[in-house]
Amino acid sequence: MNYQGVIIEESLGDKEVLNNVKIIKTRVSPVVEKHRTPWVKRWTMHTVEILEQDAEKIAEQLSEDLDKEHAWYADFKNENYHFIIYRGKIFKVDLKNPIFYKEAKKFGIALGIPEYQVDFAPNDKIFESTNL
């Protein structure tokens, strides 16, 4: 099963990874205060498809290519796994055991990413009873 996700072009220090994924659609949004990324004027959000056999390789490439100066993440998932990628750190969440979202969320918040942006499992009740 192939993966789908979103890569924000402005989050990349090296955009080469975009040549290694299938871009399904692109949406450009102006940056607003809520985004907390005043160093860019817009977010160019690419919805991408990643072949299952390439997922680990693409995750590693993203982890190396994300902007070195600012906190960003990229993510993609299929029916079984959800990759959440930060610079230098990759979380591979087994969707049969989504408790591991807690670690990925906690890591992103510690980097300064707004909590609403790292709500990877919004319908999952595990966060309501835990302290992050």
Per-residue pLDDT of the chain (132 residues; tens, 9 = 90+): 999 999 999 999 999 999 999 999 999 998 887 777 778 889 899 999 999 999 999 999 999 999 999 999 999 999 999 999 999 999 999 998 878 788 999 999 999 888 888 888 655 433 333 333
CB atoms within 10 A of CB 27: 10
Instruction: Kindly report the backbone phi and psi dihedral angles of residue 32, in degrees, each rounded to the nearest multiple of 5, phi listed first.
Output: -120, 165
Output the pLDDT for position 40.
Answer: 82
Q: Is residue 27 part of a domain?
A: yes
**Domains held by the chain: number:** 1
pTM score of the predicted model = 0.84
Q: Is residue 118 part of a domain?
A: yes
Q: Is residue 53 part of a domain?
A: yes
Q: Is residue 90 part of a domain?
A: yes
- CA-based max dimension of the chain: 41
Q: Is residue 132 part of a domain?
A: no
Q: Is residue 100 part of a domain?
A: yes
Q: Which uninterrupted H or E stretch holds 22?
A: strand 22-30
Three-class secondary structure of residue 6 per DSSP: strand
Q: Is residue 30 part of a domain?
A: yes
Q: Is residue 64 part of a domain?
A: yes
Rounded Cα–Cα distance for residues 94 and 70 (Å): 27
Q: What are the residues facing 84 on neighbouring strands?
A: 75, 91
Three-class secondary structure of residue 54 per DSSP: helix
Domain that holds residue 91: 3-127
Paired tokens of 56: 């680990």
